[in-house]
Homo-oligomer: A and B are copies of this chain.
């Protein structure tokens, strides 16, 4: 019997989302678990199995599945490993493909989580038909997938497209996961936006802000967004600052591959124009003449996580 389904898994810094995908790109069922709930990768795989195994049974068991595709931070496409991921609890080199194959008795392939999303975007999303584009995930961390001439850039050792770690502020904010200072992820992630909020509240103690009424635990990017919508000055400044840094970084990315578009997705994009406007403005201000007013910045129109699940599943077809 010909395999009809694939499993797509998207490992994010906070949540891991997964689903059963058919050959047409329909996600038939999906669910999620917390990525860092367990300390060990084996604990993570058991959490995953408790929800994924019933899905596999529901759709006819392993023989109806072609395999498992996983997008994960710092995934090595060639080796099937996750290596030194800054935002995950599992340190060192994790033989993830092997562990998945052992547990589920299905072939497993890995790629960078953001690369997986870029594939999904190219096949089913706003980048459909584009040959040159870059996707940037603004989630717990900042990920990226680079498509040049219709193909994902993998690189010599399999780790191309880690644009969240480019340095945007010399000697800037320390990134605890990588030890780097001033990287994009330290500013343009949900974590970075929260750090910026706390810094600004400290820097302007005399300026009134609804943000001051929230506990540290409550100060998420969603909270800052809600406050900004209500006209809170500091919350608006936080988005302006974050968008400006992101836009400057995008101008640098354009110099590399001259993409037709940059596709943004992930939690921070929910802030809409609050983040998009300063991002566009800063990007244009830093573009070379030959690129000015030519690079589209788009929001993904796929349901959150769908792009990554679809793209991951596409690894095994």
Residues in chain A within 8 A of chain B (CB atoms):
74, 76, 83-84, 131-132, 146, 148-149, 151, 153-163, 165-170, 178, 180, 248, 251-253, 255-260, 286, 288-291, 294
Contact = CB atoms under 8 A, between A and B. Distances in A.
Interface centre among A146, A151, A155, A161 (most CB of B within 10 A): A155
Given A149-B151, A290-B74, A156 B251 contact: no
A258 to B, nearest CB: 2
Nearest to A251: B167
Contacts of A259: 155-156
A146 B258 CA distance: 12
Interface residues of A: mostly helix, strand, loop or mixed?
Answer: loop
Given A74-B290, A83-B290, A166-B252, A132 B159 contact: no
Contacts of A154: 149, 258
A308 B257 CA distance: 21
Q: Closest 4 CB pairs between A and B?
A: A155-B258, A160-B258, A84-B289, A156-B260
A240 to B, nearest CB: 15
Contacts of A161: 255-256, 258
B255 A166 contact: yes
A291 B157 contact: yes
Nearest to A162: B255
A212 B158 CA distance: 49
A83 B160 contact: no
Contacts of A162: 255, 258, 288
A165 to B, nearest CB: 5
B294 A157 contact: yes
Nearest to A172: B170
A30 to B, nearest CB: 30
A115 to B, nearest CB: 12
B294 A170 contact: no
A131 B101 CA distance: 31
A132 B148 contact: no
